[in-house]
Amino acid sequence: MTVTRDGDHVVWAGWRDVAHQDLDLPELRFTAGQYEAEVLRAGEDRSWEWPAGAVARLLEAGLRGRGNWLVRWDCELEGVWASRREPDRIHVVLMHPRNRADADLPWLQFGMTFPISADAPSVQAERLKARLTAGDPRATAEVWGGSHDAEQLGYPWPPVDPLFM
């Protein structure tokens, strides 16, 4: 479907479904104020989020808000994530070196896995942020990936992908 703004209304029209070519749904109109309020409410609703997902989201936001905390170690934050299949842990992934303008140079992906407890997600995220930003994260991280010549950066290649052990 296509979503458009028509004056004081938001319109859903032109429904398409490849699996159901004969789908014929009517145009739906919503008042723009109510529609925008509902979109904001839905964006702030975290009732669906499991604890590890909340910790990962909060930690990533906190680390990104921390600015250039990884510059001195020539790293950048790739992401923080959680999986519903592993509800008791999160993963932090860093890239080294940072700002790789030359794709031919060696690079590494560092990863760390942290257990999630029953503590409030915000408390855990703050605790992990303090831990991660206190020193060189490469000292405790594992090499999870990289370019074929990544050993030139001084880190041994892992014998097995830690996420699939």
Residue-wise pLDDT for 31-80, tens only, equals: 999 999 999 998 887 777 899 999 999 999 999 998 788 999 989 999 99
What letter represents residue 13's amino acid? A
What's residue 105's pLDDT? 82
Beta bridge partners of 64: none
31 backbone dihedrals φ, ψ, rounded to 5° = -70, 135
CA–centroid distance for 77 within its chain? 10
Q: Between these two residues, 92 and 22, which has the higher pLDDT value?
A: 92
Question: How far is the CA of 149 from the CAs of 32, 88, 99, 152, 157, in angstroms?
Answer: 54, 34, 18, 6, 10
Secondary structure of residue 70 in the 3-state scheme: coil
- What share of the chain has pLDDT > 90, as a percent? 60
Task: Please state which of the ranges 9-18, 67-76, 106-115, 153-162 shows the lowest mean pLDDT.
Answer: 153-162
Q: What is the DSSP letter of 74?
A: T
- Mean of all residue pLDDT scores within the chain: 89
pLDDT tens for each residue of 75-84? 999 999 999 9
Confidence at 118, pLDDT banded by 50, 70, 90: very high
Q: Of all residues in the chain, what percent carry a pLDDT higher than 70? A: 93
Q: How many residues does the chain have?
A: 165
What confidence score (pLDDT) does residue 80 get?
97
3-state secondary structure of 60: helix
